[in-house]
Every structure is written in C-alpha cells, then in structure tokens.
C-alpha cells in the first residue's frame, strides 16, 4: 500500500495572534530577554555589559518578582515578547527593593560609587533605589516599564498594555503612574505624548498619567 501523503496546502498554518495576559513565573527568562533586546534606549543591548542579565536584574526582575500582580505580558503563542511591569506604590516598592532585592544584586555585582563606566552606572541605579522617590508620588504613586520586541511594535499593543495596567491600577485605587525614559529614546517619548502622558516638573524625562485617563 502506498502511504498517503498530505499536501502542504491542506494543512492550515497555526496562526496565533499575540494576546495580553497576566505574568506567570515561568515567563521570567523571556522577560529578561525582552528587557535586554530593548535595553539600549529602545534598541538591542546584547553584549553591551559583561552580564546580559544586568538590565533585567535592575529594571525587570524585581518588578515581576516583588509585584507580579502589576505585570502583564504579550504572549505570541510561542513565547513572551513584550510586557508592562509596574510598582503600584513606589514607596513600598523601594522599601521591599532595599530589603529583598539589594541582597540579590549584592551577590552578583560590585557597586562602584561613584560610577566610572556605563556598566557601573547601571549597577549604581540598582544599588540606589531611593532614586525612585520622585516628588510627584502623591499624585502618581505607581511607576512602570514597558517594552516590546521589534516584531510586535507599531501594532497598538503598547497602547493596549498601558490600558490594561491603568485598569488594574484604577481597580486598586491607585490614582496615577509615572515613568522615566532615556532621553535618546525619542520614539518612546512620542508614544507617551500620543497616549496623553504629561511631563512632570521633577525631570524632563519623567512623565505621568492619571489612572482614569482614556488612552
């Protein structure tokens, strides 16, 4: 008997559109990867530092580990390729970062103060969580980070992630959220402007939005 062959045309390709869902602990490696590949003012930071996990250790992992309920990811069906992560109460986050995350950093990195190299500067940011205590915390107590891999950019997912986070903050009575961005990242600035974030008095690269804003 001749074996039956299936024409490729009869097999429908598995098309899965990216969907936003809450973070799960097994997303952690993908979150590190997204953080790295968007970590140079929105571009790929692979190989820039002696440890490719440095950016994730400072700007991503502490959020998903300490505040998993404020973390949402974009799941492509194969992996996580984007996220929005936040600390809903920055003051509380700074306390927990000091107590629970600094020991993690301390085991891995040498804190050079004052910093000399670009790598020292990132490590220094990790060792100085008080920098997150911006003067506008009463109005904008939360802060966020958002990153999407290039293949997911420009499709409205960034806006949808912000909408998702704002909804979750609103439900918990958090009045607003702020963020800081790299001044070289003009694309991110355009995105935040477009969504209605306003520049905050404490810094040219600090922006905020109320959680009841329509984005």
Ligand X SMILES: CC(C)(COP(=O)(O)OP(=O)(O)OC[C@H]1O[C@@H](n2cnc3c(N)ncnc32)[C@H](O)[C@@H]1OP(=O)(O)O)[C@@H](O)C(=O)NCCC(=O)NCCS
CA atoms within 13 A on the CB side of 214: 0
Spatial neighbors of 108 by CB under 8 A, at least 6 apart, are 51, 57
Interaction residues for ligand X, span 92-121 (CB under 6 A): none
CA 103 from chain centre, in angstroms, equals 22
Tell the smallest beta-carbon distance from residue 107 to ligand X (Å). Answer: 27
**57 contacts ligand X (rule: CB under 6 A):** no
Tell the smallest beta-carbon distance from residue 103 to ligand X (Å). Answer: 27
The secondary element (H helix, E strand) that includes residue 81 is strand 80-87
Identify which of residues 76 and 185 has a Cβ nearer to ligand X in the complex.
Answer: 185
Tell the smallest beta-carbon distance from residue 109 to ligand X (Å). Answer: 22
What 3-state DSSP class applies to 52? coil
One character per residue 149-188, x = contact with ligand X (rule: CB under 6 A): ----xxxxxxx---------------------x---x-xx
Tell the smallest beta-carbon distance from residue 102 to ligand X (Å). Answer: 23
Interaction residues for ligand X, span 21-50 (CB under 6 A): 38, 42
> d(Cα 170, Cα 103) in Å, to the nearest integer?
32
For the record, the structure tokens of 156 come out as: 């409205």
Q: Which stretch binds ligand X (CB under 6 A): 53-61, 64-72, 148-156, 166-174?
A: 148-156
Identify which of residues 99 and 186 has a Cβ nearer to ligand X in the complex.
Answer: 186
Point out the residue whose Cβ comes nearest to ligand X: 158
Token pair 């571009």 in the structure block, residue: 43
Please check whether residue 55 is in contact with residue 49, taking contact to mean a CB–CB distance below 8 angstroms. Answer: yes
Q: How far is CA 206 from CA 98, 177, 209, in A?
A: 22, 11, 11
Which parts of this chain interact with ligand X (CB under 6 A)? Answer: 38, 42, 146-148, 153-159, 181, 185, 187-188, 190-191, 194
């Amino acid at each position: 008997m001749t074996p039956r062959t299936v024409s490729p045309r009869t097999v429908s390709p598995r098309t899965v559109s990216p969907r936003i869902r809450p973070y799960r602990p097994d997303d952690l490696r993908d979150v590190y990867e997204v953080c790295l590949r968007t970590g140079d003012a929105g571009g790929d930071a692979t190989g820039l530092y002696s440890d490719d996990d440095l950016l994730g250790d400072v700007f991503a992992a502490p959020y998903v580990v300490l505040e998993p309920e404020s973390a949402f990811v974009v799941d492509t069906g194969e992996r996580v390729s984007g996220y929005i992560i936040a600390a809903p109460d920055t003051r509380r986050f700074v306390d927990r970062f000091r107590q629970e995350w600094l020991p993690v950093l301390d085991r891995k990195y040498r804190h050079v103060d004052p910093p000399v190299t670009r790598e020292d500067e990132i490590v220094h940011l990790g060792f100085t969580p008080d920098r997150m205590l911006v003067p506008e915390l009463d109005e904008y107590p939360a802060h966020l980070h958002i990153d999407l891999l290039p293949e997911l950019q420009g499709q409205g997912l960034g806006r949808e992630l912000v909408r998702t986070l704002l909804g979750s903050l609103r439900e918990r009575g958090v009045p607003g959220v702020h963020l800081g961005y790299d001044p070289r990242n003009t694309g991110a600035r355009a995105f935040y402007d477009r969504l209605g974030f306003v520049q905050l008095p404490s810094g040219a690269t600090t922006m905020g939005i109320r959680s009841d804003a329509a984005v």
